[in-house]
């Protein structure tokens, strides 16, 4: 390293065969810190430079496996554990449906992490400048020439020897020095032009997104998906004689799983309640189902523990506590009756909570009552 | 260009051992096939169908790769194109091999029974397409077109060996442009006729592509196997390199992934919609022991070769390439067995009947290669792309 200001000695070549030979020559002369620049990928260059197999493939493989395992676990958890729904009559854990998204996330993550790893490890991010930038050498190798640059910090570097070698290989030799600009250049994150660019990109993408999803999608031809020849709810139908888009069930039919409830709000809860028996056994599953429905539908007014002390307290007529002697001595059916048809200002919940779930809520309310009125014997 | 060692080794014969194996397999397969027909004609007809569709896969797949090389302007495969041409040369043999099936349509195809059609509105609706006359016409037209194109491609290519005229390449590029769209239609028609219509009630719009993928993989696997084992013995040209091996391995890898993609797409759409006129086909392949064949197909046709070929060095390893190629050829028989045999039997059956026609088909492929290798140059010596193919680097 004779001259500290010298970055590299470069040489330009005119044909791909010359550059392959030059790369071989430089490698065989024992240099290690050199690079080849070509306007397009030259086949056989890796071998000529003696480059080892890239390790990037392992990043891709690891990222792909991560993406696949992560996505199939996520999809399984969502569909089978956290939010189980019956779709198309299939089991909750219907793995074939997860395959496309698993495949796509695996590819996506593999691509993103490969590019990310390339930028972070191989391009030495956040270093965005390089002494070869803005040199005549770089201009030439990005248009019509092929170049070799042997760096001055190579352990074997000797300027005269390198010049001789490159000349012998048939190149037009020229040294590249660190420019003053490169020496003093510090990337500044808060440069006004950069911030302005960021703001511009944000504005354009937000505006573009808004116009696309809120306006464009409702204009022809993109609204064709919405213009289907089908009866929509709450609209006039030209197809049915009576003009209604919504249809009533055929008279005398009952939906599957649905049982007609024979009593009304005018029936007394305790008397009709005595006529019904809870069909469910209070297992852990039933209780947790009851708890889920109770917390969703009942607790906003009745409170989490059934004391009638919810956050709605004072804004509505307060519901009485569920722990009164009257309610505790009601038969199960009476609770079910009140939930089904309503009472005073409480509306009917038969359309929100299914019949089975209402019976599960009854069990849960019983559990709450027992918990707040525990007896000596419960401790044993 | 920096020239590698390019001593051409054209006009060679297959190694004597391979020739012998080819004729022995042909003779053994033919003997077993005759025995099979004598003992159980029904079962033999279905296995004959498997052998026939396999031979069609290999030969028309070879033709496809010839056309693909011309249309895509590929150079890496030029030194080995003769192998694909030799496979395409088997098309007339395929036609002959399939001919004995024509009198047996009633054994194979439910739709060919007039009384069944009369009692079945779906078959009546399909009758304008699925009737014996039109079926035989399609068989003749499809195989005839393929044989015609194989003859044209090969004629120009062989002529070039002698006169070294570039214009033959130009003609073949034009032929390829005409052939590729024709191939897309004819291979769909062929697969629907011979494999899909075994279950005439079934619907699957992706079936043609599924079979096409099989043809492409199988032909490429045969070419790869032959190319690697012959190169190891110094055929084609001295100095076949990793760059050439890698290209075959990479294309094989891509195609087997494509097969999995298509196979899964076909399965998933049918599974999702769960319509009775579609799903019965998969249900039949998921019970009475067929589920094991289905699982074996997924493992052996995709997962195993996928991991055998996924890494870069593994695509350059000649032993690994040969093993993968042999596996993919064998597993195409499994694929065709899985496509055809559930119509014959509710449970998987395996015996000498099932061995006879695969042995015969493989024997015909090897013997066919041997005969043609003897007669023609094994390298297209007059092809203007040959030198670039020899010098090909990754």
Say what the ipTM of the complex is: 0.81
Tokens 């030059």 — which residue? Answer: A22
Choice among A3-7, A139-143, A326-330 with the minimum mean pLDDT: A3-7
Report the distance separating Cα A254 and Cα A262, nearest Å.
14
Instruction: State chain B's mean pLDDT as an integer.
Output: 92
What is the phi/psi pair of residue A177, to 5°?
Answer: -105, 160
CA distance B51 to B337: 10
Residue B361 pLDDT grade (very low, low, confident, very high; cuts 50, 70, 90)? very high
pLDDT of residue A127: 67
Mean pLDDT of A312-319: 80
Question: Which stretch of A2-16, A175-189, B255-269 has the lowest confidence by average pLDDT?
Answer: A175-189
Residue A128's nearest CA partner among A182, A199, A201, A195 is A182
Q: pLDDT of A88-123, one tens digit each?
A: 888 999 999 999 999 999 999 999 999 999 888 877
pLDDT at A129 over 80: no
Bridge partners of B237? Answer: B8
Q: How far is A368 from A295, CA to CA, in rounded Å?
A: 12
Distances in Å between the alpha carbon of B159 and those of A184, B65, B87, B172?
68, 19, 18, 12
Give B249 to chain A, closest Cα distance, Å: 17
Q: B393 vs A21: CB contact, 8 Å cut-off?
A: no
Q: Residues of chain B with pLDDT > 90: what percent?
A: 80
Least CB–CB distance from B394: residue in A43, A53, A57: A43
Residue of B nearest to A15 (CA): B1
Those of residues 43-62 in A touching chain B at CB distance below 8 A are 43-44, 46-47, 53, 57, 61
- Tell me the β-bridge partners of A378: none
- pLDDT at position A83 is 87
pLDDT at B69 over 90: yes
SS3 label, residue B271: helix
Whether the CB of A21 is below 8 Å from some CB of chain B: the reply is: yes
Q: Would you say A143 and A40 are in contact if contact means Cβ atoms under 8 Å apart?
A: no
- In 3-state terms, what secondary structure has residue B363? helix
Q: How confident is the model at residue A1 (pLDDT cuts 50, 70, 90)?
A: very low
**Do the chains contact at B2 and A96, CB–CB below 8 Å?**
no
Chain B residues near residue A17 by CB distance under 8 angstroms: 1-2
Instruction: Flag if B268 and A57 touch (Cβ within 8 Å).
Output: no
How long a stretch of residues is chain B? 394
Rounded-to-integer distance, Cα A267 and Cα A337, Å:
9
DSSP letter at A308 equals S
Rounded distance between C-alpha atoms, residue A71 and residue A99, angstroms: 9
B2 CA to chain A: closest CA distance, Å? 6
Report the C-alpha gap between A334 and A188 in whole angstroms. Answer: 73
What is each CA distance from B122 to A108, B119, B201, B204, in whole angstroms? 44, 9, 7, 15
The pLDDT tens digits for B304-324 are 999 999 988 899 999 999 999
Contact B2 A17 (CB under 8 A): yes
Across the range B143-149, mean pLDDT stands at 96
Which CATH architecture fits A269-373?
Answer: Orthogonal Bundle (1.10)
Best residue in B1, B2, B391 for a mutation probing chain A (most A CBs within 10 Å): B2
Q: Would you kindly state where each structural domain of chain A is located, as residue ranges?
A: 1-187, 192-224, 269-373
- CA distances to A188, A189, A194 from A126, rounded to whole Å, are 11, 11, 15
């Amino acid at each position: 390293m004779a001259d500290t200001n010298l970055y590299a000695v470069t040489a330009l070549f005119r044909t791909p065969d010359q550059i392959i030979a030059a790369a071989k020559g430089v490698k065989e002369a024992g240099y290690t810190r050199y690079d080849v620049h070509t306007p397009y990928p030259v086949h056989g260059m890796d071998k000529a430079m003696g480059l080892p197999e890239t390790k990037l493939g392992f990043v891709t493989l690891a990222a792909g496996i991560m993406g696949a395992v992560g996505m199939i676990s996520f999809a399984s958890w969502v569909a089978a554990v956290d939010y189980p729904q019956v779709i198309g009559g299939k089991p909750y854990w219907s793995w074939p449906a997860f395959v496309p998204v698993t495949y796509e996330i695996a590819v996506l993550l593999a691509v993103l992490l490969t590019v990310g790893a390339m930028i972070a490890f191989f391009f030495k991010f956040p270093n965005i400048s390089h002494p070869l930038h803005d040199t005549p050498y770089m201009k030439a190798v990005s248009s019509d020439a092929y170049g070799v640059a042997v760096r001055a910090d190579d352990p074997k570097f000797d300027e005269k020897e390198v010049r001789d070698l490159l000349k012998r290989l048939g190149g037009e030799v020229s040294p590249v020095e660190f420019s003053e600009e490169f020496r003093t250049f510090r990337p500044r994150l808060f440069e006004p032009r950069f911030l302005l660019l960021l703001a511009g990109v944000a504005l354009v993408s937000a505006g573009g997104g808004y116009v696309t999803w809120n306006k464009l999608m409702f204009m022809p031809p993109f609204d064709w998906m919405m213009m289907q020849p089908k009866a929509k709810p709450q609209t006039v139908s030209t197809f049915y004689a009576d003009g209604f888009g919504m249809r009533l069930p055929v008279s005398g039919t009952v939906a599957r799983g649905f049982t007609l409830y024979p009593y009304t709000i005018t029936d007394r809860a305790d008397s009709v309640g005595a006529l019904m028996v809870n069909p469910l056994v209070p297992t852990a599953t039933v209780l947790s189902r009851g708890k889920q429905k109770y917390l969703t539908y009942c607790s906003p007014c009745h409170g989490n523990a059934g004391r009638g002390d919810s956050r709605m307290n004072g804004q509505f007529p307060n519901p009485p506590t569920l722990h009164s002697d009257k309610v505790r001595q009601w038969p199960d059916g009476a609770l079910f009756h009140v939930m089904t048809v309503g009472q005073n200002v409480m509306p009917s919940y038969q359309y929100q909570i299914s019949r089975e779930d209402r019976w599960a809520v009854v069990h849960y309310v019983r559990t709450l009552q027992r918990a707040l009125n525990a007896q000596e014997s419960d401790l044993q | 260009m920096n020239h590698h060692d390019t001593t051409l080794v054209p006009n060679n014969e297959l190694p004597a051992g391979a020739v012998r194996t080819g004729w022995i397999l042909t003779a053994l397969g033919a003997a077993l096939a005759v025995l099979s027909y004598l003992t159980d004609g029904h079962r033999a007809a279905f296995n004959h169908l498997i052998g026939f569709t396999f031979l069609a896969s290999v030969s028309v797949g070879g033709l496809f790769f010839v056309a693909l090389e011309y249309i895509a302007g590929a150079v890496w495969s030029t030194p080995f194109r003769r192998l694909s041409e030799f496979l395409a040369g088997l098309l007339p043999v395929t036609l002959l091999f399939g001919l004995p099936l024509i009198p047996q349509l009633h054994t194979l195809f439910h739709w060919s029974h007039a009384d069944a059609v009369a009692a079945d509105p779906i078959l009546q609706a399909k009758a304008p397409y699925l009737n014996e006359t039109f079926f035989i016409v399609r068989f003749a037209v499809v195989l005839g077109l393929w044989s015609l194109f194989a003859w044209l491609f090969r004629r120009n290519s062989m002529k070039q060996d002698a006169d070294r005229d570039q214009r033959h390449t130009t003609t073949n590029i034009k032929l390829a442009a005409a052939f590729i769209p024709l191939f897309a239609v004819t291979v769909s028609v062929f697969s629907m006729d011979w494999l899909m219509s075994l279950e005439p009630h079934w619907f699957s719009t992706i079936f043609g592509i599924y079979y096409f993928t099989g043809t492409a993989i199988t032909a490429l696997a045969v070419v790869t196997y032959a190319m690697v084992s012959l190169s190891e013995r110094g055929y084609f040209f001295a100095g076949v390199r990793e760059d050439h091996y890698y290209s075959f391995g990479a294309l094989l890898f891509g195609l087997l992934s494509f097969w999995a993609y298509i196979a899964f797409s076909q399965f998933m759409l049918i599974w999702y919609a769960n319509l009775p006129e579609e799903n019965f086909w998969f249900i039949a392949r998921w019970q009475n022991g067929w589920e094991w064949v289905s699982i074996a197909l997924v493992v052996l046709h995709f997962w195993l070769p996928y991991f055998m070929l996924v890494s870069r060095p593994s695509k350059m390893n000649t032993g690994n390439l040969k093993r993968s190629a042999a596996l993919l050829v064998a597993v195409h028989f499994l694929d065709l067995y899985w496509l055809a045999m559930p119509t014959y039997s509710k449970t998987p059956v395996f015996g000498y009947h099932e061995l006879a026609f695969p042995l015969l088909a493989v024997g015909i492929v090897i013997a066919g290669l041997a005969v043609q290798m003897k007669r023609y140059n094994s390298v297209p010596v007059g092809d203007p792309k040959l030198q670039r193919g020899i010098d090909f680097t990754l």
